[in-house]
Structure 1
Amino acid sequence: MIRQMRHQFLTDKECLIHTDLHASNIMVNDHSMKIIDTEFAGFGPIAQDWGRLIASFCLNFFSWYGDHEHTEGEKAVFRAYLLDSINTMYQCFEEEFRALCDKNRSDSYRLRSLDVDAYLLTHFQDTLLYTALNAASRIGDRGICYDLERLKTPDRIYPEQLVLLMTIELFLNRGAYKKITDLTDYLRKMAGKHPAEAFKEA
């Protein structure tokens, strides 16, 4: 699977992508949004950008399970905000993609012959793979993200375990995920299904 993803990343010149798109590269105010940091920009699969971005939200989401500076209520509210943000972003992308296909279909043979539903499903499941790979790549010492680095080393263990569980799930069972809310529902239930105490006992 990793080899297939590598081949896709190197050969699928779907569009211009950022390739390192995470939350800290996006600047927003009341009137506009800017995406910065073009050191890795190139042509590739859209799923890489989406996977990298969703992974950055997932890493922040999991990091709050190792945080001891905020109340449980505060952490729950922010985790819910992160999942809602993932849903909103991806749903807006799919809506805009469909609208653009409809608007430009008459001018493009490729769009006229495109099965948009099938394309978006394949794209989404590819995105899940890139999400898993990008998240797992940011928990090692050399590539650790700030979301986890801010925690004391013992407090990182449980969030990192959750990241690895998500990675395994998405690699093995991505075919069961048909829409973005399937992913966020899974993330929402993870800590209940895999409590920290279970890892300590193991």
Structure 2
Amino acid sequence: MDKVREFTEREVEHYVKKHGLFPEDAKLNIRNIVFGREDTEGLVNLIYRVEDVQSGKTLIFKQVMPYVLALLKHEGVLRPTGKGRTAKEVQAMVLMDVIYSGITPKVYFQDTSQGIICMEDLSHLKNMRFQLADMQKFPDFGIRIGAFLAEMLFFTSDLYLDAQTKWQWEQIFDAQEAKKLLVDLLFQESCALFDTSRTFERDARGTHRRIANNQRLKLLVYDMGRRFYEGKQCICHTDLHTGNIMIGPDETRLIDCEYGGYSAFFGDLGRIAGSFIVNYVSWLGMPEAAYESRLKMQQYDLTMICGLFDGCLEMLKRLFAKYRPKRPALRRIDPEAYFMSFFYDSVRCAALTAACRTPTDWARPYEIARIKQADDLGLVQKRALEIAEYTLEHAEEFCCIQDFCSLIQCCAGI
């Protein structure tokens, strides 16, 4: 595949004026907001912020690249991604916003032939990953996102849709490409949990070797990957982590929805919970920060994980109660039993995701990359691996999400 030319700032200015998004005589300030970014997770697209310095009008110009930018920039590997991601992203954003108003940016313009989307500027918000690293807390985030995920699960699955409509939606919201990427990242022998060529610090190497040699764990993870890839339970974001969330005191938005589509629900719930596990264990590697502050952040992380699962369950109960009179089939389903049908895969996915984000390489997220000392990083890696090892083998011992959080605290509490 030939490398696609990336738009320059001058070309962006010409483009937005040509398509009537700004007047021809507007003086524009255009800034690449990906260049120099300290976090590499999800680095796939070219993104500019465009501002009319006179009127103050702003928008985001996003060029969806047909390859993974991070791999190209860091390893020189040109890994193609499928066509049509621009249209898929817009469709996913619109649908998510219909189901849960205000959860995604507004779209002003799209050009599928060149992979371009012009959308609402969310720079009044902050990226959640960096906010958490700065010890900022958003108390109701877990409950609200858990409720959002439950609504996506309910309204885009066979709980609500008839078989014909769901089949039609599956053709529109196809996520097989994204799922293949994640299967390779999380559920194959090439994942960081099993790949012995991945770099871990000295204190974590023994734990990593033990896990990498555990054939039972490998088979369990491979089987999870099969369920994830084959799953078409509901429409999912499919790349849901704190780096893809913009947040403020009273506002939360999801970004980078281009991989949105039908998938196994445990992937979204597990990956966002995994982000909070990464943040939780990272505080072990930050001894320079005040003990009480780190302890409070760890407590907050566990509260958010509980909130995600509890918020999801409570919203499911409400939706079942509301729609049972109109849908007799729902009367035969217990919402708590339905929730538990994906609970164990969700906590396993959370622990697996967190462990796979900790190796010492360019792909580690900001919370891990900021750890200065090798010994501190080794401790963080070891604890994340231990959480994953135990959870993968013993998830069925957890009766509720609080049990899982107790394990995290036992393994990695300050």
Identify which of structures 1 and 2 has the higher relative contact order when contacts are C-alpha pairs closer than 8 Å and 6+ apart: 1
Does 2:330 correspond to 1:111? Answer: yes
> For this pair of structures, how many residues does the alignment match?
193
CA-to-aligned-CA distance 1:106-160 (integer Å, 9 cap, x gap): 2224422213222211211110121122112212325312111111251211011
Alpha carbons 1:101, 1:111 under 8 Å: kept: yes
Alpha carbons 2:269, 2:308 under 8 Å: kept: no
Distance apart, 1:168 and its partner CA: 0.6
Aligned counterparts, 1:21-170, within 5 A: 21-140=240-359, 141-154=361-374, 155-170=376-391
Deviates more, 1:51-60 or 1:17-26: 17-26
CA distance, structure 2, for counterparts of residue 92 and residue 132 of structure 1: 19
Give the 3 Å change call, closer, same or farther, for CA 65–9 of structure 1 in structure 2. same
Q: Which amino acid aligns with 2:367?
A: D
Give the 3 Å change call, closer, same or farther, for CA 189–37 of structure 1 in structure 2. same
Classify the secondary structure of the residue corresponding to 1:34: strand
- Structure 2: where are the runs of 5+ without partners? 1-219
CA distance, structure 2, for counterparts of residue 36 and residue 67 of structure 1: 29
Does 2:208 correspond to 1:3? Answer: no
In the other structure, the counterpart of 1:200 is: none
* Structure number with bigger Rg: 2
Distance apart, 1:88 and its partner CA: 2.0
Deviates more, 1:52-61 or 1:83-92: 83-92
Alpha carbons 1:87, 1:184 under 8 Å: kept: yes
Identity across matched positions, percent? 28
Q: What TM-score comes out, normalization by structure 1 length?
A: 0.88
CA distance, structure 1, for counterparts of residue 276 and residue 357 of structure 2: 12
Q: CA RMSD in A?
A: 1.8
In the other structure, the counterpart of 1:199 is: none
Q: Which has the higher helix share?
A: 1
In the other structure, the counterpart of 1:175 is: 396
Alpha carbons 2:273, 2:308 under 8 Å: kept: no
CA distance, structure 2, for counterparts of residue 128 and residue 106 of structure 1: 32
Alpha carbons 1:54, 1:86 under 8 Å: kept: yes
- Structure 1: where are the runs of 5+ without partners? 196-202
